[in-house]
Amino acid sequence: MTEPPALTRLEIQPSGLAVLTIDAGPLNLYTLGLHEQLDATLDRLPADTRALLIRFAGRVVSAGVDVTLFDAQQSPEQAKILFDRMLTLPDRIAALAFPTVFAAHALCLTWAFEVAVACDIILAAERASFGLVEKVVGLTPTMGGTQRLAARAGVGRAKEFVMTGERYSAATLERWNVVNRVLPDAGFDAAARAFAEQLAAGPTRAHAATKAVLDHFATGGVPGANRHVTEIAADLYRTEDLRGAVRSFLAEGPGKATFTGR
């Protein structure tokens, strides 16, 4: 039996940065086959991964979902099974215990945007645009994009974004606090890699702790985070990075420490 074509690539840099490239051209549509390959690729992430960059090959990030998937669902019960499966992908990425960066170089629709807002940081090229356009088939987004967008931009913006189904520029989403940084089109891929490398070279155990604190904030607000932050921070005294960085600060001043992720 012929093996299906590879739709994903994984590069592991010496820094511990993992670069996951999705190459399901020409439109990088979501299919169950692509989802299976993404799961398998995430399974291959080394235990000592220090950051993940998600990027896409081709002229667009993604034009959306293969609509034949929706056509194949014959009942609400069947559809729920599909949607439950789709939701596992952004949920899995959101749960990773190291920084995750999404690089959007061009048009980014539906499932890809929902993966983007599951990442910690979204970088966008100036020419990039974004949309949740499920309304064109009478559907609402199913992969967490609506609620994760609301967490970043507010409920009113999320309603506008989904209900209009319009495409929004990178500059607009930066203003909404959805996109973290808009970078020039020229050299975008290299700049995104450099940004992710910088995170990978940092105190990644501390970054994981930051993510944990913010997870508590997301579910319990400031009081919920306050109930956990001191324990999470104190646990960093188990790491070599904290103790080494404190010694470096005292001996050499700030900014001289190097981190290993241990």
137-189: pLDDT as tens digits? 999 999 999 999 999 999 999 999 999 999 999 999 999 999 999 999 999 99
Q: What is the mean pLDDT of residues 225-229?
A: 96
Average pLDDT over the chain reads 96
What tokens were used for 102? Answer: 């999404």
> What pLDDT was estimated at residue 3?
72
Cα distances (angstroms) measured from residue 96 to each of 39, 90, 100, 104, 234: 13, 10, 8, 20, 21
Report the alpha-carbon distance of residue 152 to residue 146 in Å, rounded.
10
pLDDT band at 4 (very low <50, low <70, confident <90, very high): confident
Residue 1 pLDDT grade (very low, low, confident, very high; cuts 50, 70, 90): low
Query: What is the mean predicted confidence (pLDDT) over 33-59?
Result: 97
Residue 2 has pLDDT above 70, yes or no: no
Asked if 173 and 130 touch (Cβ cutoff 8 Å), the reply is yes
Q: What is the pTM of this model?
A: 0.95
Q: What stretches of the chain show up as alpha helix (H) in DSSP?
A: 32-43, 68-71, 76-94, 111-116, 145-153, 155-164, 170-175, 188-200, 204-234, 240-252
**pLDDT, tens digit (0-9, with 9 covering 90-100), for 103-116:** 999 999 999 999 99
- For 99, the token pair is 């920084």
Distances (CA, A) of 111 to 87, 165, 194: 9, 14, 25
